[in-house]
């Protein structure tokens, strides 16, 4: 699927995997038009140990099924925020890394 021409995407899929998260993160980091990409999913094959090996440890773990990562974008020096919660994977463009207490 070619997602390079969209700035905002919301979609629903049956299942999402750790490899899907890696693929989307790698491609979204290179886009100049990207703002937000939300994927609602019914099932997941995500293994957090595998995911951490693929994209690195999360910035913060809120609960077992609620995590957040930040990655610096090369194209605009902003940040890609990756948020994974029960049933939802979200990628957002941010100007700074939010600090949590």
Count how many Cα atoms sit within 13 Å of the Cα of residue 77 in the half-sphere of its side chain: 0
Phi, psi at 2, each rounded to 5°: -95, 115
Distance CA 67, CA 75 (A): 25
3-state secondary structure of 98: coil
- Residue that is written with structure tokens 């293994």 in the block: 47
Q: Which of 60, 69, 77 is nearest to 25 (CA)?
A: 69
In the chain, where are the structural domains located?
8-94
1 pLDDT above the threshold of 70: no
40/71 Cα distance (integer angstroms): 21
pLDDT, tens digit (0-9, with 9 covering 90-100), for 31-77: 878 899 999 999 999 999 999 999 999 999 998 889 999 999 887 88
16-29 pLDDT tens trace: 999 999 999 998 99
pLDDT at 33 (0 to 100): 83
- pLDDT band, residue 97 (cuts 50/70/90): confident
Residue 17 in tokens: 């995997």
More confident residue, 83 or 30: 83
Q: For residue 99, what pLDDT is reported? A: 75
- What digits encode the pLDDT tens for the residues 28-40? 998 878 899 999 9
């Amino acid at each position: 699927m070619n997602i390079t021409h969209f700035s905002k995407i919301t979609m629903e899929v049956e299942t999402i995997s750790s490899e899907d998260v890696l693929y989307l993160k790698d491609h979204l980091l290179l886009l100049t038009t990207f703002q937000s990409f939300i994927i609602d999913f019914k099932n997941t094959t995500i293994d957090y140990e595998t995911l951490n090996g693929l994209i690195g440890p999360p910035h913060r773990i809120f609960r077992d099924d609620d995590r957040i990562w930040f990655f610096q974008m090369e194209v605009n020096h902003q940040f890609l925020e990756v948020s994974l919660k029960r049933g939802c994977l979200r990628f957002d463009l941010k100007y700074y890394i939010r600090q949590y207490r």
